[in-house]
Amino acid sequence: MAIASREDILPHYRETPIGLLLEYHNFGRDFDTYADAKLLIGMCMDNRKHLHIPDNFAFIIRAGGANLRYSEFKVSYAIAVGGIRCIALIGHTQCGMVNLVARKDQFVQGLVNAAGWQRQSAEEHFSHFAPMFEIGNEVDFILAEVKRLRLQYPRILIAPLLYRVEDNRLYLMREGTDDGR
Ligand SMILES: [Zn+2]
């Protein structure tokens, strides 16, 4: 869902840090001053993405594919100690964690050539980790992750977003009628 005006922000995200993230990034809203983080952002490590947000506004966990399955302790910490009550999980177009198997040869060859690995170790490394980090499809993955996180942290407001690297804009992902709330 394109977010071009405040009315495009779903009502339950307006007036929350998730709505503010959309306003700062998409609308260039003037930055407010923050002493404490208000939001946890999970996003991919991909270098093509830069968020336009104020200092101190958000904790950011960057991991391939915005996959937080292996960052659970950090999520819990941001809530329990960091005091955040909202999470924005941001997938993006052209994500390298989609269809990893297509890049297996490049991955293995790259480790052999650039890092000095033995071919067999590189192949085993790929085979061991690729299934853990493969996300399949960026939209379906983010929607499923958001569902999982909502079950894990039922009082936290969690939103699925998409960053389009083609226009550097944030979009809200449309969810079914049962959006877990
Ligand atoms: Zn990515």
Per-residue pLDDT 10s for the chain (181 aa) are 999 999 999 999 999 999 999 999 999 999 999 999 999 999 999 999 889 999 999 999 999 999 999 999 999 999 999 999 999 999 999 999 999 999 999 999 999 999 999 999 999 999 999 999 999 999 999 999 999 999 999 999 999 999 999 999 999 999 975 544 4
User: From the CA of 137, how far away is ligand 1's center (Å)?
Assistant: 11
Contact of 21 with 89, CB cutoff 8 Å: no
User: From the CA of 174, how far away is ligand 1's center (Å)?
Assistant: 20
User: From the CA of 135, how far away is ligand 1's center (Å)?
Assistant: 9
d(CA 32, CA 158): 22
Q: Nearest Cα to 21, choosing from 71, 86, 115, 114? A: 86
User: From the CA of 64, how far away is ligand 1's center (Å)?
Assistant: 5
Contact of 158 with 85, CB cutoff 8 Å: no
pTM: 0.93
